[in-house]
Amino acid sequence: MEARFAMNNGTVTAVSISAKHTFSKENEACIRLLKGLGVEGDAHLGEKVKHRYRVARNPDEPNLRQVHLIHSELFDELKVQGFDVCAGQLGENITTCGVDLLGLPTGTRLHIGETAVIEVTGLRSPCKQIDQFQHGLMAAVLDRDSEGKLIRKAGIMAIVLEGGIARPEDQIRVELPSMPHRTLQPV
């Protein structure tokens, strides 16, 4: 039986970048997505992997983590658990509302604003830095489903297929890939 995937369109609520390898990113009025590279001015920009632990393992690995997205609904969930987290603080480039990011299949295309198109490559796997940001946050962004499988709630990763500007209040149109759909895995 194939998993059912959500196809809700949504909205960008914030965009963020950091030129350095910092955990959190600064909110901006807009960001420029560059085809095949990622977010202009961001430390993770490039065709090859930029995340430091991945570079140490294999610097020639393709960069499947050019753009990091998190759903703003996660912040509401975390607030109920006593955490105070805002857009950009968990390192995401694009904060969304109304899109079930974690429910999208691999290869989903997200059309953002007038011209930008990104393709979902997989899940973000949170690292220990998240607990350094706020103690206990790692456990809060991990969960288990009814079968005991790990659920990673810290967002998704994508590559840029078509460049463009992304800004708060831009519409996000979800385009599901051809069948069969593949469930997101950590990248």
Domains and CATH numbers, the chain: 10-175 (2.40.33.20)
What element of type H or E holds 79?
Answer: helix 73-80
What's residue 5's pLDDT?
Answer: 56
CA distance 132 to 39: 25
Structural tokens at position 6: 């959500």
pLDDT in tens, 129-152: 898 899 999 999 999 989 999 999
Q: Which portions of the chain are predicted below pLDDT 50?
A: 1-3
CA distance 112 to 162: 10
pTM of model > 0.75: yes
User: Over 104-119, what HEC string results?
Assistant: CECCCEEEECCCEEEE
